[in-house]
Structure 1
Amino acid sequence: MLESVYQSTYSADTETVDVIVVGAGVAGLAAAGHLTRAGLTTTVLEAAPAIGGRMSTEKIDGFRLDRTAQLLSTSYPELRRTPGLDTLPLRPFAPGVLLYADGHHHRAGATPPLRSARGALTAARALASAPRLPRNGGRAQGRLQGRPAGVRPGRLGAPADQSRLAMALARLAATAPERLATRAELPIAEALATRGFPPRTIDGFVRPLLAALLADPALRTSSRCADLALHAFATGRLCLPEGGADTLPELLAAALPPGTVRTGVRATAISTTSVATADHGELPCRAVVLATDARSAAELLPGLRVPDFHPVTVLHHATDELPPGDGALLLDADRGGPVSHTAVISQVDPTRAPAGRALITSTVLGTPPEAAHLDATVRAQLARLYRTSTARWELLAVHHEPEAVPAMPAPHDLRRPVRLLAGLYVCGDHRDTSTVQGALHSARRAAHAVLTDLDAHPTPMEEALETAA
Structure 2
Amino acid sequence: MSEHRGADDCDVLVIGAGLAGLRCAVVLAERGCEVAVWEAEDRVGGRIRTDVVDGFRCDRGFQVLNPAYPALRRAVPVRDLGLQPFDAGVVVRRDHDRVKWVHPLRQPREVPRMLMGGGLSPRQVAALLRWAAPAVRSGVLAAAHHDTDLRDALDHCRVDGISRRVLDRFLAGVLLDDTGSTSNAFALLLTRMFALGVPGLPADGMQALPELLARPILDRIHLQHKVTRIARTGADWTVTAGDVTVRAREVVVATDAPASSVLTGAPPPATKGVVTDWWAVDDLPPRPAMLSVDGRARPPGPVLNTAVISSAAPTYAPPGRHLIAASALIGPQHPTPSEAVLRRHAADILGLDASTWTLVVRHEIPDALPAQPAPLVVRRPVRSPDGLWLCGDHRDTASIQGALVSGRRVAEAIMARRSAATI
**What is the distance in 2 between the residues matched to 1:429 and 1:342?**
25
Higher helix share: 2
For 1:70-109, list aligned pairs within 5 A: 70-83=63-76, 87-108=80-101
Give the superposed CA RMSD: 2.5
| Candidates 14, 19, 22, aligned match of 1:21 | 14
Which residue number corresponds to residue 261 of structure 1?
A: 221
* Aligned residue type for 2:113: S
Structure 1 residue runs of 5 or longer lacking an equivalent are 1-5, 114-121, 131-147, 458-469
Partner of 2:258: 295
**Per-residue CA shift, 1:328-371, capped at 9, x if unaligned?**
01122333311110111111111111000000111111246666
- In the alignment, which residue of structure 2 is the partner of 1:150? 117
Native 8 Å contact 1:243 1:349 kept in 2: no
Distance 1:283 1:35 in 2: 18
> What does 1:36-51 align with in structure 2 at a 5 Å threshold?
36-51=29-44
- Between the aligned partners of 1:210 and 1:361, the Cα distance in structure 2 is 17
Instruction: Answer yes or no: is the 8 Å Cα contact 1:59–1:65 preserved in 2.
Output: yes
Task: Check the 8 A contact 2:15/2:38 in 1, yes or no.
Answer: yes
SS at match of 2:305: strand
Q: Which residue of 2 aligns with 1:11?
A: 6
Please list the CA deviations of residues 27-84 of structure 1 after superposition, one character each: whole Å capped at 9, or x if unmatched.
1111111111122121000112222111111111111111112222222111111156
**Identical-residue share of aligned pairs (%):** 35
Distance 2:112 2:179 in 1: 27
Q: Distance in 1 between matches of 2:335 and 2:250?
A: 45
Q: 1:287 to 1:51 in 2, by over 3 A?
A: same
Conserved 8 A contact 1:423-1:453: no
What secondary structure sits across from 1:198 in the alignment?
coil
2:209 — aligned with what?
A: 248
Q: In structure 2, do the counterparts of structure 1 residues 305 and 244 end up closer, same or farther at CA, with 3 Å as the change threshold?
A: same
Quote the Cα distance in structure 2 between the aligned partners of 1:274 and 1:103.
63
Q: State the alpha-carbon separation in 2 of the partners of residues 449 and 403 from structure 1.
A: 28
Stretches of structure 2 that go unaligned for 5 or more consecutive residues are none
What is aligned with 1:215? 176
Matching of residue 356 in structure 1 with residue 323 in structure 2: no
1:113-124 → structure 2 map (5 Å cutoff): 123=108
Q: 2:407 aligns with which of 443, 446, 465?
A: 443
8 Å CA contact 2:131, 2:154 repeated in 1: no
Alpha carbons 2:6, 2:245 under 8 Å: kept: no
CA contact (8 A) 2:127 2:158 kept: yes
Q: Which amino acid aligns with 2:262?
A: E
Between the two proteins, the alignment pairs up a number of residues equal to 414
Moved more, 430-439 or 166-175: 166-175
- Name the amino acid aligned to 2:212: L
Please list, as runs of the form range in 1=range in 2, the aligned pairs for 1:153-168 lying within 5 A after superposition.
Answer: 157-166=120-129, 168=131
CA contact (8 A) 1:422 1:453 kept: no
User: Counterparts of 2:420 and 2:173 in 1: how far apart (Å)?
Assistant: 40
Q: 1:235 & 1:330 partners in 2: Cα distance?
A: 21
Shift of 1:171: 4.4
2:357 alignment partner in structure 1? 393
Q: For 2:384, what is the secondary structure of its paired residue?
A: strand
Q: Which residues of 2 match residues 269-308 of structure 1 at below 5 A?
A: 269-270=229-230, 271=232, 273-302=236-265, 304-308=266-270
Query: Aligned to 1:312, what secondary structure does the other structure show?
Result: strand
Question: 1:416 maps to which residue?
Answer: 380
Alpha-carbon distance in structure 2 between the residues aligned to 1:376 and 1:216:
23
TM-score (norm 1): 0.82
Cα distance in structure 2, aligned partners of 1:384 and 1:323: 15
For 2:284 and 2:306, how far apart are their aligned partners in 1? Answer: 14
Q: Which of residues 93, 97, 113 is equivalent to 1:129? A: 113
Counterparts of 1:293-332 in structure 2, within 5 Å, are: 293-302=256-265, 304-332=266-294
- Aligned counterparts of 2:367 and 2:137: Cα–Cα separation in 1: 34
Partner of 1:134: none
Structure 1 CA distance, aligned partners of 2:163 and 2:14? 42
Could you say which residue in structure 2 is the equivalent of 1:428? 392
- Secondary structure of 1:248's counterpart equals helix
| Residue-by-residue CA offset, 1:220-252 (whole Å, 9 max, x unaligned) | 101222221222122221222222111111111
Do the aligned partners of 2:28 and 2:411 also contact (CA within 8 Å) in 1?
yes
Kindly tell me: are residues 169 and 63 of structure 1, through their superposed partners in 2, closer, same or farther at Cα, counting changes over 3 Å?
Answer: same
> Which residue of 404, 426, 431 corresponds with 2:368?
404
How far 1:199 sits from its partner (Å)?
Answer: 2.6
Query: Who is 1:333 aligned against?
Result: 295
Q: CA offset at residue 128 of structure 1?
A: 4.6
Q: Which secondary structure does the structure 1 equivalent of 2:340 belong to?
A: helix
Structure 1 residue 24: deviation in Å? 0.8
Structure 1 contact 165–201 (Cα < 8 Å) conserved: no
Range with greater deviation from structure 2 (321-330 or 168-177): 168-177
CA distance in 1, matches of 2:315, 2:286: 19
Deviation at 1:385, TM superposition (A): 1.3
Residue 422 of structure 1: how far off its partner (Å): 8.7
For the Cα contact (< 8 Å) 2:68–2:193, is it kept in 1? yes
**What TM-score do you get using the length of structure 2 for normalisation?**
0.90
Specify the alignment match of 1:68 in structure 2.
Answer: 61
